[in-house]
Amino acid sequence: LQFLYKAPSCKVFFSHDPIKIVRAKGQYMYDENGNQYLDCINNVAHVGHSHPIVVKAGAKQMELLNTNSRFLHDNLVQYAQRLQATLPEKLSVCYFVNSGSEANDLALRLAWQYTGHKDIITLENAYHGHVSSLINISPYKFHQLSNAEQSKSVHVALSPDVYRGIYKKDHPDPATAYADDVKNLIHKAHENGHKIAAFIAESLQSCGGQVIPPAGYFQKVAQHVHKAGGLFIADEVQVGFGRVGTHFWAFQLQGEDFVPDIVTMGKPIGNGHPISCVVTTREIAEAFRNSGMEYFNTFGGNPVSCAIGLAVLDVIEKEDLQGNALRVGRYLMQLLEQLKEKHPLVGDIRGCGLFVGVELVRDRVKLTPATAECQDIIYKLKEQHILLSADGPHRNVLKLKPPMCFSEEDVDLVVEKIDQILTGTLKTLCVCLKSSRNHIFVFIIQNAFSIHFDAYLFVCRC
Amino acid sequence: LQFLYKAPSCKVFFSHDPIKIVRAKGQYMYDENGNQYLDCINNVAHVGHSHPIVVKAGAKQMELLNTNSRFLHDNLVQYAQRLQATLPEKLSVCYFVNSGSEANDLALRLAWQYTGHKDIITLENAYHGHVSSLINISPYKFHQLSNAEQSKSVHVALSPDVYRGIYKKDHPDPATAYADDVKNLIHKAHENGHKIAAFIAESLQSCGGQVIPPAGYFQKVAQHVHKAGGLFIADEVQVGFGRVGTHFWAFQLQGEDFVPDIVTMGKPIGNGHPISCVVTTREIAEAFRNSGMEYFNTFGGNPVSCAIGLAVLDVIEKEDLQGNALRVGRYLMQLLEQLKEKHPLVGDIRGCGLFVGVELVRDRVKLTPATAECQDIIYKLKEQHILLSADGPHRNVLKLKPPMCFSEEDVDLVVEKIDQILTGTLKTLCVCLKSSRNHIFVFIIQNAFSIHFDAYLFVCRC
């Protein structure tokens, strides 16, 4: 019935056999039959599903007042102050909006207005939101279009991926090499009479495949972009609010000396409540005002959204969730590294705190993406009541970004299950191999695997 | 302090002496000193501020589950069904998003994808939202820019305003005349090799000056637009959900034979909670899916937003708020007509239900906008604890769009106060006239009036 009224372009997880979740608490979700699922996907439920402190703050403020920001309200001021305190000093002006998409669109408007330039540099496989201006700068999306046509004012830079990209871990200086690609793009744009308004990137690419850029890359990019008169926009929609463990913001992983010109926030900011924020410098905000155009957002910064945002910050602090992300994230990485030793399908393990990617490949030299295997694992984990998803340009990266209250016991469970599935998969394959080639094909089809020659050889060796 | 952290482009009401509202109930708001204000502005608090049924529905669902639409949930299906039941049958597919801006941007994306065309026809003084694609089609906004540059794929049609527009009430057929302007625009666009994707209009122009298009206009526009292969988008963000009294949707005022291709909803839909919706036909939704691009919105259609949306529909029904809008709106129009008889400054009274405009002019023939007078009235009403705002291209239209529980007693109060202010203003002016010309100037400055010669003459006669 959901499909009858809901738009057909909107996809659910596990579309062949979707789950009907009726309640959730912490890192657990429950279906209509009372089955418990371990949630390793929902970075939106940042401090845990239905957190009582957040729920209470929202309910209490809803009872009192929920109106637009045409009136003064303490919540708005307090929340802006609290957010500002987590950021470098020069990032001091907040615009409150309703979604990551609204935030990134506003960031572009700020950059266009401040610089007077039009062009945007974005990364390969980037996703920045669903409104039309952001589809234009999201290769992850516009490559899905059958009639894809890249805007002439959008330039796509190499993703700073040291596993699958051109410059790998063994490169002497991948940060400089990838930043030089941005420099070259700027150079080409200038030759064609184009001018750069901004470079935009997630501080860690999420949909793009859980990519962690080499430290120092952002500083070098910022140098090139600033020289061209453009701004640096750090998209923290998926990765901010302590998830990376060592820092509150993921861009801080690049080093203390890096400060973006604009930071956008979203998903985790309201633990599911629609709120988001753009923070920038006074200079850029003044230039935007001087355009003569007022900015008004009906719901943005309303007292309920701000009360919820404040409660989320409170819980992160009180429950030391950033510390938890660091500790549990490190433990998760340890266990995953062991998995990598054991299973050749596991090509790369990368992560910061509770933002982790497991890239599956059929061949560790050629890096052939194990896309079907990845889908298979996700479906099998679902049968075990563990919710995980896959992403990246080849959909071969297991993506872990659970609620921040995720525990070491949860880590034990999910890694154990992945281990079992990987082991089981190989065993089945080996059994099949012992009969006939035809049988393998039968198996392949049944499991929705599309095993290529590389993988076939590998299985033979095991 | 709000200004220190909040972006300078965001304006509050009564910026010289803003109000700090701490709670609100029904049609009343309360400041930090306990003063009660009658709210005639907030169409977002549709069923009344902090309505207990809506608050309870939101709080209850927040306790249970608030997650994205990657999982099945009954609230989403029920809410889509309930909304669909208020609309003509062919409008059967819902996309849930977070704001009117997200809704209108998605409507454009649907139109672009379905038609394969690029150009949009919009109305003079139109406002459709704050994301960049909508600034492009909002003359109300892009005319504010010092470096305004109209996109070549945007065509601005005459606002179907029978008071201040080219074709007035005395025109034999203003609906056809204004629709012919759209026809001509299409013709010109075609001559220049452009193709029309959509015509977009608020069913009643709100920021544009509370303009009520003549019945039959939309049908004729739709004919021309469909002939050009384009779609008709009805923006109900400000005016939907029973506000017009006689109908649930404002586009229905045009006649039973009119059905838009896409309807966008916003502000009142969640009584302040960030939610909005795009409804369209299955055919258009299928074409959008066939583009190959998934549509995903993190917060859109989450169980909390849908629970709140359902509660708002419940309250509209249970408390017969559409009926109330009709009755109280008619009473308001009656009293305002009497005001028009009495005060020459009142040029036009127009309205449907609780969507009412009072256009102030210094000269009823020349229609010279009484902009400063309008501002003065609003500030004086604020001193009397009545919240009203002014809009329209000349900011000379008093805009009434109160919560739908507005009562006849509220009408008595607001009209009485406007009457007193209008009378008082004239008396003070007459007293001043009796002394010297210099004195008038003093008075004028004190009251932030900028009285022109027309008004001056009129005052002399009184």
A31 phi, psi to nearest 5 deg: -90, 180
Q: A432: distance to nearest CA of chain B, Å?
A: 35
Give CA–CA dist B226/B236, Å, rounded. Answer: 20
Task: Search chain A and give the residue with CA nearest B296.
Answer: A10
Please check the confidence at residue A23 and state whether its pLDDT lies above 90: yes
Residues β-bridged to residue A302? none
Tell me the CATH architecture of domain A320-461.
Answer: Alpha-Beta Complex (3.90)
Give CA–CA dist A103/A101, Å, rounded. Answer: 5
Structure tokens at B332: 């308001």
pLDDT tens digits for range A392-403: 999 999 999 999
Contact A5 B99 (CB under 8 A): no
pLDDT tens digits for range B87-119: 999 999 999 999 999 999 999 999 999 999 999
Are B250 and B223 spatial neighbours (Cβ–Cβ below 8 Å)? Answer: no
Domains A52-318 and A320-461 share a fold: no
pLDDT bucket at A350, cuts 50 / 70 / 90: very high
- Chain A environment of B76 (Cβ under 8 Å): 2, 6
Task: Search chain A and give the residue with CA nearest B278.
Answer: A7
- Chain B environment of A45 (Cβ under 8 Å): 66-67
Please check the confidence at residue A293 and state whether its pLDDT lies above 60: yes
Q: Cβ of B63 under 8 Å from any chain A Cβ?
A: yes
Q: A402: distance to nearest CA of chain B, Å?
A: 13
Superfamily of domain B321-461: Aspartate Aminotransferase, domain 1 (3.90.1150.10)
Please check the confidence at residue A440 and state whether its pLDDT lies above 50: no
Q: What is the pLDDT of residue B441?
A: 37
Top-confidence residue, A207 or B145: A207
Structure tokens at A52: 């009582």
CB contacts < 8 A, A to B, total 334
Q: Residue ranges of chain B with pLDDT lower than 70?
A: 1-7, 145-149, 425-462
Instruction: Give the residue from A59, A238, A80 showing the smallest Cα distance to B8.
Output: A80
Opening angle at CA B79, ends B77 and B85, nearest 5: 105
pLDDT tens digits for range A80-132: 999 999 999 999 999 999 999 999 999 999 999 999 999 999 999 999 999 99
- What residues does each domain of chain B span? 52-318, 321-461
A146, burial (CB in 10 Å: exposed 0-12, middle 13-18, buried 19+): exposed
What is the domain class of B52-318 according to CATH? alpha beta
Instruction: Give the residue from A39, A24, A126 showing the smallest Cα distance to A386.
Output: A39
For the question of an ipTM over 0.95, the answer is no
Q: Cβ of A117 under 8 Å from any chain B Cβ?
A: no
Contact B274 A305 (CB under 8 A): yes
| Range 140-199 of B in CB contact (< 8 A) with A | 141-142, 144-147
pLDDT bucket at A362, cuts 50 / 70 / 90: very high
User: Which residues have C-beta within 8 Å of that of residue A109, sequence separation ≥ 6?
Assistant: A288, B132, B135
User: Which residues have C-beta within 8 Å of that of residue B433, sequence separation ≥ 6?
Assistant: B440, B459, B460
Contact B289 A9 (CB under 8 A): yes
Q: What is the pLDDT of residue A427?
A: 58
> Is B38 strand, coil or helix?
strand
Structure tokens at B347: 């040029």
Please report where in the chains the tokens 């009403």 appear, as a residue. Answer: B381
Per this entry, what is the length of chain A?
A: 462
Q: Cβ of B12 under 8 Å from any chain A Cβ?
A: yes
Q: What is the pLDDT of residue A147?
A: 61
Top-confidence residue, B426 or A59: A59
Are B249 and B262 spatial neighbours (Cβ–Cβ below 8 Å)? Answer: no
Q: Which residues of A64-90 are buried (b: 16+ CB within 10 A; e: fewer)?
A: bbbbbbbbbbebbbbbbebbbebbbee
Count the alpha carbons within 13 Å of A210 in the hemisphere toward its beta carbon: 25
